[in-house]
Amino acid sequence: MSLSNRSTLTQYLIEQRRRFPSASGDLNALLLEVALACKSIARSVAFGELGGVMGDASVDAAQGGAVNVQGEVQKKLDVLSNDVFVRMNEWAGHLAGMASEEMEQPSQIPAQYPRGKYLLVFDPLDGSSNIDVNVSVGSIFSILRAPDDVIASGRDVVEADFLQPGATQVAAGYALYGPTTMLVLSVGNGVAGFTLHPNLGEFVLTHPDIQVPPDTREFAINASNSRFWEPPVKRYVDECLAGATGPRGKDFNMRWIASMVAEAHRILMRGGVFMYPRDTKDPSKPGRLRLLYEANPIGFIMEQAGGRASTGRQPMLGVVPSSLHQRIGLVFGSRNEVERIERYHHEPVKNDFNTPLFAERSLFRN
């Protein structure tokens, strides 16, 4: 493949930096370190069983053992991927600290390394429950600016330093480990997709200026939870399932991969709406997905691509986090569909009695 008319990730980041002549270049360098971590993880994923990294982590594994802070069983690749992200990003002097789905507390920069002005939060291997069946998985990351006092003093980071709304993200992206390895990235100026060239080992720009179509005929939701859905979600799904003869006047297809990176990528490529809404399955949890390192970075990418991300009730990027591992409901994708779901949440709930007793009737027949 000729690269004469394609940019590498490094070239793309240089072009983006030129918009800010006074920029130090630290953000570019950090993003290249993140990309390198993703390349390393992609290689481990590609080897699969041959690499001896499949299956559950042992109780003696690093970073918390067989069960992470979320109460989820860790896979060997979860532990490996988390370690890769930490080790490849702690040394260069760009970060003040890191936080991850796999670590209960923030990760401090070791004393022998310089500290920088950014915070990195990440899900090192999203969708890892599907890794044993060879379904596409990925890594999700978000970059925030550290608070001024952290930058000035160089002190250790604490949980509160990371509790910033999604709108303050400096950059966000994900890597998709599928038939090809891709890096999808936004630095606040649209969304670009890069494909890992297998011969060069470089991410090459293949999808400039990704845009999410405003309308769609596809939705993604875990239908096994339907008995726990709130009325606005049930109403929306029922209308989609009613198809061309229903109130929407068109047929919809339902998709569900159970790997959010793969779901997000499909929507970026061809439109759609993804729903993992708040429900009544576990009243102690206001949602399933993590705000800081899943919902916010994916929401940032969707909004930068012309889509929309929401809790169902309010814009996702406006939510002020209350804890490092906060969970939240998430709806994202084609703008018009997400706005419809939001509207349903704000409309009064209608009584829907599907019995003859409560059906509309009249003494007169036409």
Where is the binding site for substrate, in residues?
126-129, 222
d(CA 280, CA 131): 28
N- to C-terminal Cα separation, the chain = 70
| φ/ψ of residue 211, rounded to 5 | -130, 135
Cβ 181 vs Cβ 42: under 8 Å: yes
Q: Which residues are annotated as a binding site for Mg(2+)?
A: 101, 123, 125-126, 294
Token digits for 131? 């890794």
Cβ proximity of 236 and 340 under 8 Å: yes
Query: By C-alpha distance, which of 355, 170, 140, 148 is closest to 265?
Result: 140
Binding residues: 101, 123, 125-129, 222, 294
Contact call for residues 301 and 173 (beta carbons, < 8 A): yes
CB 303 within 8 A of CB 317: yes
Report the distance separating Cα 172 and Cα 297, nearest Å. Answer: 5
